[in-house]
Amino acid sequence: MCAFPNVTLVFLLALTVMSSLSITVNFDRAVKITAKRKIELESIFIECALNDMVRISAPMISEHDEYYLSAPPYGDTTKLELHAPKLLNKNNTHFHKNTALKYIFIKDIKALVNHEKNYHVFTSKSFGKKLKHLKPNEFMIGPLTEENYGNWVLSVYTKGHGEWIELFQVITLAITEPAVIEPQYPVLKIGDTFNLSFAYSLPAIETCEVIAPQWTFDRFFERTLGNFDKCGFSIPNVTKDDEGLWKIIGVGRIIHTGRVRLRVLGPYVKGDNTP
């Protein structure tokens, strides 16, 4: 954890940035607060790529809230040294212009303040610039690795009538990496079998999906056992209707996506849906 004047920065893995700044964070296994009530806030779904960085704005209720962040896959938790800026401070006019007020009911009405867009994805090359403009209620995750894929949980503990209340928000990091499909330039004849797969094996593959061209309906295909860890598929007896863009989506530690355009040689016949 690294603190700067008016800036709090949290990285959730050991890393070296710009070869001169090394940051490590130690996780605590348990939160030492017992909340009498839990309230779920609107979840966030963030699409990103390997080595990206994510800046997230934590919701604010009062200046005395406590923040904790649980990381996948095991829910290791760390305390974030965040705080709400003084909104009436004349020096916070820029913050004022980029906030949106939402109201929640916790035995009484309290203002829940957050930015209009409470997250931003950028490359590690922009680290220095983003660091300078980091606000007191913001933190960063990254550079992203496969271990960061999944559901994070941001918990805000605030007091209402002397009792702790937990407001929690699920933050899903959907890390997607482009992948090469083989063959890269498939050209087949009508009646041939179309075999396609990723060009390399995926680590800990769980699910594979093939998406046919939009004008292909109820297309029969089967998984090729020899290429199971490469998301291999076999489409027999191709027709002109199969010509077009095919996609493979494979989910392992992260999401892998690839696409390839199939060309089918031969004349159009009656019943073809392709114009």
pLDDT digits (tens, 9 = 90+) for 35-79: 888 889 889 999 999 999 999 999 888 878 899 999 998 889 999
CATH number at residue 112: 2.60.40.10
pLDDT digits (tens, 9 = 90+) for 173-230: 999 999 999 999 999 999 999 999 999 998 788 999 999 987 766 778 888 877 788 9
What domain range is 85 assigned to?
Answer: 2-176
Per the structure, the count of domains in the chain is 2
3-state percent helix, strand, coil for the chain, nearest multiple of 5? 10, 50, 40
Euclidean distance between CA atoms 86 and 99, whole angstroms: 13
Q: Tell me the three state secondary structure of residue 167.
A: strand
Average pLDDT on 267-272 reads: 57
Give 77: exposed, middle or buried? Use CB within 10 Å, 0-12, 13-18, 19+: middle
- Looking at the structure, do residues 95 and 121 belong to the same domain, yes or no? yes
- Looking at the structure, do residues 58 and 169 belong to the same domain, yes or no? yes
Phi then psi dihedrals of residue 54, to 5 deg: -125, 125
User: Hey, how many other C-beta atoms are within 10 angstroms of the C-beta on 195?
Assistant: 17
Do 94 and 147 form a contact (C-beta atoms < 8 A)? no
Last residue of a domain, one of 176, 194, 227: 176
- Looking at the structure, do residues 60 and 88 belong to the same domain, yes or no? yes
Do 272 and 239 form a contact (C-beta atoms < 8 A)? yes
Do 87 and 19 form a contact (C-beta atoms < 8 A)? no
- Looking at the structure, do residues 210 and 261 belong to the same domain, yes or no? yes
- Looking at the structure, do residues 66 and 97 belong to the same domain, yes or no? yes
pTM: 0.73
